[in-house]
Amino acid sequence: MRLYIKHMVSLRCKLMVKQELKKLGLHYVIVELGMVEILENLTTEQQTLFKICLLNSGLELMEDKKIILIEDIKKVIIEMIRYSDDLPKLNYSQYISKKLNRDYAFLASSFSEIEGMTIEHYIINLKIERVKELVLFNENNLTEIAYLMHYSSVAHLSNQFKKVTGLTPSHFKQLQQKN
């Protein structure tokens, strides 16, 4: 049985979901970002308990097919930005369309309808969150970060960072170091 889970975006989420399944006596085959496949069919009681456990952790069991599609789009984008060492050489729209085997126009309109923002803005926000982490880790300079995140230049990265956060990357780093 396949279950779809909203807001499941990190390795920590996967571990928590595995623990909750184990507590309920359920056996998982696959636990991926946004999706779990279990051997058993859930009883009504198990489903209710699992929903409550997920909600207590900020996650949500999904049943609406459109919401599941949106979470699939997010999962592809998150994996692309956060967990892939090599961002796609194709443009993002072609990459997402190819990964989900769906027409990009349909994916984009569905995403905008449900999320209230475009896929492009979601990607930008996610990239900026990743840049924030890289800036704070202090392992790479801004030129290296721009290259890693596939920005055309440091100026482009800095402009986008300021547009999203209201701060320059260096000012952001200074504020975080004070805290």
Phi and psi, residue 178, nearest 5°:
-70, -35
pLDDT score for 122: 96
**Would you list the DSSP string of 117-174?**
S-HHHHHHHHHHHHHHHHHHHTSS-HHHHHHHTT-S-HHHHHHHHHHHHSS-HHHHHH
Task: Output the pTM of the full model.
Answer: 0.71
Q: Count CA within 13 A, CB hemisphere, residue 21.
A: 25
pLDDT score for 19: 92
Point out which residues pair with 5 in neighbouring strands: 61
Tell me the residue length of the chain.
179
pLDDT score for 124: 94
- Report the SS3 class of residue 62: strand
Share of the chain above pLDDT 70, in %: 96
Q: List, for the chain, all residue ranges whose pLDDT scores fall below the cut of 70.
A: 84-90
